[in-house]
Amino acid sequence: MLNGKHIILGISGGIAAYKSVALLRLLVKAGAEVQVIITPSGKEFITPVTLSALSGKPVISEFFTANTGSWNSHVDLGLWADAMIIAPATASTIAKMAHGIADNMLITTYLSAKAPVFVAPSMDLDMFAHHTTTNNIALLKSYGNFIIEPAEGELASHLIGKGRMEEPENIVAYLDTYFRSSQDLKGKRVLITAGPTYEKIDPVRFIGNYSSGKMGYSLAHECAARGAKVTLISGPVSLKVEDTDGIEVIKIESGREMLSECEARFGKMDIAIMCAAVADYYVADVADKKIKRESEEIPELKLAKNKDIAATLGQVKTDKQILIGFALETDNEEENALKKLKKKNLDFIVLNSLKDKNSGFGTDNNTITIINKDCSKIKYPNMPKPAVSKAIVDIIVNNYLCSE
C-alpha cells in the first residue's frame, strides 16, 4: 500500500532518532517517496547526510537553504504529502504541534499538511506520563492525528517504562493498515446534502437559516478520502470544494430543488447522508418584484410545507441502501431524534447537541450522539468536525457495510 506514496518523515531531537534511519529505509524499500524534515536538535542525533543518502533527496531543516538562499515551501510540502510521520516525536515537538508554535520547518509543514499525520512519541516514562504530555497528546488526537503509542521497555535513562518509540517495522505496518483501511468506502456511491436552503420571498429576499455547511462538507471530504464517489447537494454556503477533491458538487438554492436533485440520484446510491438544514416551509406566492416598504399594508407571507427529503428517500430505500439523518433538538433531544429516525426510516440518526456552546451551526466543532435503529446509542465528546465525520463514517463502515 505504500508503493508510490509521498511521505514526509519528520524527525525531532530524541535518542530514538537513530531508529528513524531504519524507518526511512523500510519506507523507501516499500516503494514510498520520502522527504525528510529534521529539526535543528534532531541533527544533534543523526546527520542529514545519512538521511539524504537513504531517501535520495536533500534533507530539509531550515526555512532557507543557506548556500542558495532558496525558500523551502512548507505549503507545497504539505500539499505534496499523502502522509506525514513524526518519529521520534519528542515532548517538545508534541507540545509545539498541539499549540501551533511554528518555530521550525517541521511544525510549519505540520500546520500546512492536508494529509493524515502520524505521531510516534518517544521520551522518558515520567515525561510521557506527565499531565502536560497526556493533555497535548489528547489535543493532537482531537485534531484527527494518529498517535502510534510508544512501547514499554528500557529507556535511554535506563529506567523501564512506557516511552520507547515504536519499532520501525510496526510503524510501517501501522501506515500500511491505515492506507488499506482508508479505502474502506472504495466503490461506494455516497449522496450528501449540506448547508441551508433559501426560500425566496421576492427577487432580493429569502427565508433561510444559520447552517454553514461545514458538517456536510467535512463528511464529503471524509467519504471521498476513504475512496467513495461522492455527490454533494449543497445549499448556498461560502465553502468551496477543489477539483482535486474528487467530489461532485451540485449547487441548489431551495428545498424543492434539493429534493428533486436527491430523488433523481438516490436510486444509484449506496449511502445517503442528510446533513442539510432544509427549510420547513417555502413561500407559496413569491413576489415577482421587490416588495416595497412604502405601502401601508404589512405583507403577509403565505407559506407551504417543503417535502421531507429524508423521509421521501426513506420510503423508497432498499435493504442494500443506508440512509442517515441528523437531528437538531432543543428539548427531549434523544426522544425526538428517535422519533425522527423511525418516521423517516433512517438506519441511524446523528443528534447534534445544542446544549454545548462549541457545537452546531457555524462552529468548527460538534458534540454528537449516534442513535441506531435498535435504540442503542453512542455518545461522543465535543470534537472538531473532521473528527466527527471520521466517527460517523467509522460507524457506517463497521456497523452497517460489514453486515451487507
209 in catalytic set: yes
Stretch that binds ligand CTP, among 28-36, 38-46, 220-228, 304-312 (CB under 6 A): 304-312
SS3 385: helix
Considering only residues 223, 310, 383, 387, which one is a binding residue for ligand CTP as defined by CB under 6 A?
Answer: 310
Nearest distance, CB of residue 326 and ligand CTP, angstroms = 4
Q: Is 233 in the site for ligand CTP (CB under 6 A)?
A: no
| CB-based contact 261:233 (threshold 8 Å) | yes
Tell me whether residue 128 or residue 282 sits nearer to ligand CTP (CB atom). Answer: 282
Is the bond into 203 cis (omega within 30 degrees of 0)? Answer: no
Q: Which of 72, 170, 209, 336 is catalytic?
A: 209
How many residues sit in the footprint of ligand CTP (CB under 6 A)?
15
- What cell numbers appear for 262 in the block? 436527491
Tell me whether residue 82 or residue 308 sits nearer to ligand CTP (CB atom). Answer: 308
- What cell numbers appear for 55 in the block? 531517501
Q: Is 216 in the site for ligand CTP (CB under 6 A)?
A: no
Q: Is 371 in the site for ligand CTP (CB under 6 A)?
A: no
Nearby residues of 284 by Cβ (< 8 Å), 6 or more positions away: 302, 303, 304
Pairwise CA distance, residues 384 & 230, whole Å: 21
Q: Is 278 in the site for ligand CTP (CB under 6 A)?
A: yes
Q: Is 328 in the site for ligand CTP (CB under 6 A)?
A: yes
Pairwise CA distance, residues 249 & 206, whole Å: 22
Pairwise CA distance, residues 8 & 20, whole Å: 12
Residue 327: name the closest of 313, 305, 343, 307 by CA. Answer: 343
Tell me whether residue 245 or residue 280 sits nearer to ligand CTP (CB atom). Answer: 280
Stretch that binds ligand CTP, among 220-228, 272-280, 369-377, 384-392 (CB under 6 A): 272-280
- Please list every residue from 242 through 261 that binds ligand CTP, using CB under 6 A: 255
Nearest distance, CB of residue 270 and ligand CTP, angstroms = 18
Residue 244: name the closest of 79, 17, 367, 14 by CA. Answer: 79
Task: Give the DSSP per-residue string, 348-381.
Answer: EEEEEESSSTTSSTT-SEE-EEEEETTS-EEE--
Residues that bind ligand CTP (CB under 6 A): 193, 255, 274, 276, 278, 280, 306, 308-310, 325-328, 340
List active site positions.
Answer: 209
